[in-house]
Amino acid sequence: MDDNGSGTLDEYEFTKAINDFGVKLDPKDVATLYKIFDYGGDGEIDFNEFVRVVVGPLNKFRTNICIKAFKQIDYTGDGILSLEDIKKSYNARMHPDVKSGKKSEDEVLLEFLETFEQHHNTIHGTKADG
């Protein structure tokens, strides 16, 4: 599907994928659908844009669960999840790399946190802020 290996779909690749999967749509509808999926408007659809459109916004129940989880992790209650807040919630002792001595608990914790940074930066086009 990603013919040029860019990690995104341009309009040509998106249209080709629609046709390859046998979805019968008018070319105008495919173009409209492409614009909907290209949430950022940069002429490419990345994975996060695709998921955002397919999944949609969180419903009230899921939003409340996220808020509850956030508040539980935010030990200081300041509305910011600091490294210290997360250290109190995330236990890396049983991670295979920690158990084998390959990595420290802090190294595993930082790798865990980097996944959130990467996701945030991909969606918002920002740099890591820790």
What are the 10-residue block averages of pLDDT along the chain, 130 residues in total?
85 92 91 90 87 84 92 91 85 92 92 74 60
3-state secondary structure at position 10 = coil
* pLDDT at site 118: 67
* pLDDT at site 13: 93
Specify the DSSP element, H or E, that contains 12.
helix 11-20
Q: Does any domain span residue 127? A: yes
* pLDDT at site 83: 81
Report d(CA 38, CA 48) in Å as an integer. Answer: 10
* pLDDT at site 125: 60
* pLDDT at site 127: 63
* pLDDT at site 98: 94
Q: Does any domain span residue 117? A: yes
Phi and psi, residue 103, nearest 5°: -140, 160
Q: Does any domain span residue 36? A: yes
Phi and psi, residue 9, nearest 5°: -115, 125
Q: Does any domain span residue 47? A: yes
Number of domains in the chain: 2
Q: Which domain holds residue 17?
A: 11-55
Q: Does any domain span residue 3? A: no
* pLDDT at site 129: 60
